[in-house]
Structure 1
């Protein structure tokens, strides 16, 4: 694994990881969800690397090890950041793999008239529509504002994560811990501030990505906690419903890697 660093502007860089196989044009681009980071995809990326795939995972702005500017916390800005990375730095069109909010970003790219991605895989997301769940923004904000855990120390935080995700592999537990900055005295601080979290949540609230017929690339929906209700799926779209956590890619990387490899091998993303 190598660290990647993509310059977006003079003052903003997007960092992440790469697992690159030589002479391989099958590139997967992993994009995480709200308040997460790229390393939560490492268990899945490692499995897919063994199956012959190259991978790049990025930390969206404000997340992980990427720059944390004071502005730009909208889905539109995030989508533009990703577009810059693909156009400037990647040699081939990747298959986009996003989870939750990251999947919604993938759908935005999949709807472009001239797509810069080969295909889109949405893990428990892609068509998240918060206006269908909450009558107004204030209620959404009230229900979905995350708890502030920064008063905890690392051992207690790790204990809580392990209790809530007892069936997760160790690498996924570590990936979750990477959402916090850990100080030498074991104090912690969330890398994405609650203020910026809510700016992104508001942007997600303002989005209504309901029209699945606007997709211009083959798209695979892998659902776990979010059940999509589409009457008719277009021919370039497939949906698989599973039982598992919202971060099912971190919980069950063996299963998700098999599904992804099977669909790619069958030529779904031609």
Structure 2
């Protein structure tokens, strides 16, 4: 793995984690308040199969600084576009997880010539007005928790207890979404106002219009929760998104975490390799 910086149209630099390969490239996009390291175990498998991989730290996330003008889904999509154009990755399989799925949808709709196939990993169909009655209700539900005084080691312990099937690499990658301070506590890399600004942008711009413009083969990979009501709600959302897509396949992950790339990286990589072969 190598770290590469890519200039963006906004004037900043996007940090990418890259793996070597000679065949069709993959571009991997993380979710809100996450980072590119969550893709490491998936990327290892893709690279071992011969594919170059670029995992992008979106603006304000991971090793990429937050630009002065902030970030939204469209500007995040433009940052990923800059990576694809700068390194001649047109025709790549673009995979986005959670909000990163919405970013990948926007990119694919706006620049279809750059994307050979699209994978939506428990995201890309996130439609907040369909899930909440009002913006205030949405903002209250999705506002990040206060982390004041939380120690990094305590966070690691919580993650290991709540996700016993995650590897140590996945746990450390999740901790890396935060900044560890010299006293052992953590703070957010993405400040809460910026986080809520992205959520507001998602509220204002649900992905339906962009899904309807996509012609690339699209693989939808929902994490289906154990709770029956939530599972059926997820299936309805995914089916509605699939109905808008010209070429779609749904592959459910039963009884799974939202962070499929952390919980089931090898299985996810196998599905992505199958999409690349199409």
User: Is the structural similarity TM-score above 0.5?
Assistant: yes
1:201 and 2:213 aligned: no
Asked whether the 8 Å contact 1:115–1:217 carries over to 2, the reply is no
TM alignment of 1:1-270, pairs within 5 A: 1-9=1-9, 11-21=11-21, 24-112=22-110, 114-210=112-208, 212-225=211-224, 226-227=234-235, 228-230=238-240, 232=243, 234=245, 236-243=247-254, 244-265=256-277, 267=278
Which secondary structure does the structure 1 equivalent of 2:206 belong to? coil
Q: CA deviation at 1:27?
A: 0.5
Please give the alpha-carbon distance, in whole angstroms, between the structure 1 residues aligned to 2:151 and 2:112.
Answer: 48
The separation in 2 between residues aligned to 1:50 and 1:209, in whole angstroms, is: 33
- SS of the residue corresponding to residue 15 of structure 1 reads strand
Relative to the length of structure 2, the TM-score reads 0.89
In the TM superposition, what is the alpha-carbon distance from 1:241 to its structure 2 partner? 1.3
RMSD: 1.8
Q: 1:9 deviation in Å?
A: 4.9
* DSSP-derived class of the 1:118 partner: strand
Deviations 1:132-159 (A, max 9, x none): 0101111000111111224111211111
C-alpha distance in 2, partners of 1:49/1:156? 33
Q: Is the 8 A contact 1:62 1:192 kept in 2?
A: yes
Distance 1:234 1:201, change over 3 A: closer
- Matched residue SS, 2:113: coil
Give the drift of 1:229.
2.4
Q: TM-score, normalised by structure 1?
A: 0.91
Bigger CA drift: 231-240 or 161-170? Answer: 231-240
CA distance in 1, matches of 2:248, 2:92: 17
My pick for the range that moved more, 49-58 or 227-236, is: 227-236
Q: Which runs of 5+ in 1 are unaligned?
A: none
Query: How far 1:113 sits from its partner (Å)?
Result: 6.3
Q: What SS does the corresponding residue of 1:220 show, helix, strand or coil? A: strand
Tell which deviates more after alignment, 80-89 or 31-40.
80-89
Aligned-partner Cα distance in 1 for 2:9–2:246: 38
Residues 211-260 of structure 1, C-alpha deviations (whole Å, 9 max, x = no match):
54421211111111443123747552111111211111110011111112
CA contact (8 A) 2:70 2:194 kept: no
Greater helix proportion: 2
Which moved further from structure 2: 154-163 or 134-143?
A: 154-163
* Paired residue secondary structure (1:214): coil
5+ unaligned residues in a row in structure 2: which ranges?
225-233
Q: How many residues in Structure 1 have an aligned counterpart in Structure 2?
A: 264
